[in-house]
Amino acid sequence: MALCPMLGEGNAKRVEMNRLTMTMFEPVQAHKALTQTIWPAIKAAIMAGHRMTVEVKSETRSLQANARMWAMLTDVSKQVDWYGRKLTPEEWKHVFTASLSKQDVVPGIDGGFVVLGKSTSKMTKSEMAELQELIEAFGAQQGVRFTAPEYVDQDTREIT
């Protein structure tokens, strides 16, 4: 257990420091979180003899973007024959993520091949937007009529 003053509260609380996740979106808010919450928690844990790892990463895709992606994949699945086959939305996801990531294909354990695509749950917002743009471009070439709702942030114009 480490002593962790929680942001916005005057009293320190004891919390188990397995994981601390905070979304930072504005410089003043980020500075306050780093100096008043994150650093005191890390310092207390280290002083108590624990080793800490700090990871800073871009925010991952939203649930709305994920829902839109699956709706788009379903539209492609229903409307496109791929070399004489109808692929499931899951199979299309592998095709698109492998194409987007320029991923590789490796022999499977029992024969056949395995496409090494990227997990969409770990994609950043910009990667998810790029994936959806790829699906839209492919769909336009194939004459797909998309029914997926638009989830576009009006301020950033990002697909959320």
**pLDDT at residue 157 above 60?**
no
Confidence tier at 15 by pLDDT (50, 70, 90): very low
In which residue ranges of the chain is CATH 1.10.3790.10 found?
A: 63-142
pLDDT at 151: 56
* pTM of this structure: 0.64
Q: Is the pLDDT of residue 77 over 90?
A: yes
63-142 has CATH 3.60.20.10 classification? no
**Which span out of 79-88, 96-105, 141-150 was modeled with the highest average pLDDT?**
79-88
Pairing of strands 2-5, 105-107: unpaired
**Tally of residues, the chain:** 160
| pLDDT score of 12 more than 70 | no
Six token digits for residue 24: 């930072």
Q: Both tokens of residue 124?
A: 């950043």
